[in-house]
Amino acid sequence: MIAAPGILHELTPDIEKVLKEDAELLQRWNSLTPIQRNEWICWITIVKKEATRVAHIQQMMEQLQQGERQPCCWPGCPHRRPSAQKWFRKQA
């Protein structure tokens, strides 16, 4: 099964790898809307530190398994929502 993409952001190899390692997680991912998938991808890839990125991937996995459909407390992808840009110092 293929992991579905977001609307603005490409699915990165590290995210795709963890999704493909768990069939149930992949199914949950593919049941998300393209905008929801985009939010997860942006939330993971916008960070600067590798350790933070790894933590975000882990949190995504846990939240998807719990039925969450988008990152908690995330103002939204600043690349698609101009109103969310105020929460970010510098755009990625």
Q: For the segment 2-30, what is each residue's pLDDT rounded down to a tens digit?
A: 898 888 888 999 999 999 999 999 999 99
Q: What is the mean pLDDT of the chain?
A: 87
- Residues 8 and 24: their CA atoms lie apart, in Å, by 24
How are the residues of the chain apportioned to helix, strand and coil, as percentages rounded to the nearest 5? 55, 0, 45
| Stretch 46-70: mean pLDDT | 96
Residue 83 confidence (pLDDT): 64
Would you state the pLDDT for residue 79?
Answer: 72
Answer for the pair 79, 67: CB distance below 8 angstroms, yes or no: no
Q: Which comes out higher in pLDDT, residue 32 or 84?
A: 32
